[in-house]
Structure 1
Amino acid sequence: MLVLLESLSFYRNVRIGAAAGALLALSLYLVRTLELLGPVIDTREYPLFGADVWFLLLAFVLAATSALAVAVVLTVAAAVRGAREGGAEPPE
């Protein structure tokens, strides 16, 4: 199993996905909290915590799901690329 993960560059893909997910979530969280697109009209009341804490939790969920999606797409692309290269050899 470890050989399969290494041949698909899975660990590299996970690192790339984690970086992309964290960058996306951080940028969207900063846009929201620093009001880079203008002031936010707050007419809601948030239970237990303020709006910033809820958006921080949403940023974590966004980072995790986008990291997973990027890692899966890169791994599937590596698998397809490997299958095409492996299928080009004539049978012995």
Structure 2
Amino acid sequence: MSEDTHSGPGEDVPDRPGGTANFFRAINVQRNAKAGFGIGVVLALGLLALIVSNAGSSDYPVFYYAGLAFVLATGVGLLLTMVFTVGSLVRKVRELD
């Protein structure tokens, strides 16, 4: 039988100098996500407090508004994370030029 000279899955593979994790670290995705979702949560809680305080005679229970606040916080968080990350990427590209 002949020896297999190709490395298979699970065998020693040299580390790549770049990689996706290093790319995400370079454009600060984790910091951008914390900032984006933080702003989204603050905005949603502020609007929820405003709506609940004025919804005394509403036909809908408060937990419906809480569900809408969750959707708003998630949507704004994702949108701001994307905007902040694209901004970081543009700055990093300009830095390389």
TM-score normalised over the length of structure 1? 0.78
What's the % identity of the aligned pairs?
29
Higher relative contact order (CA 8 A, sep 6+): 1
From the CA coordinates, give the structure whose radius of gyration is larger: 2
The answer for the alignment partner of 1:32 in structure 2 is: 51
The answer for the alignment partner of 1:60 in structure 2 is: 70
TM-score normalised over the length of structure 2? 0.74
The answer for the alignment partner of 1:85 in structure 2 is: 95
The separation in 1 between residues aligned to 2:23 and 2:92, in whole angstroms, is 11
The answer for the alignment partner of 1:90 in structure 2 is: none
Question: What number of residue pairs does the alignment pair up?
Answer: 78
Letter of the 1:60 counterpart: F
What are the Cα deviations for residues 36-86 of structure 1, in whole angstroms up to 9, with x where unaligned?
xxx6653xx55xxx2x11110000000000001111000000101111110
Which runs of 5 or more residues in structure 2 are unaligned? 1-19
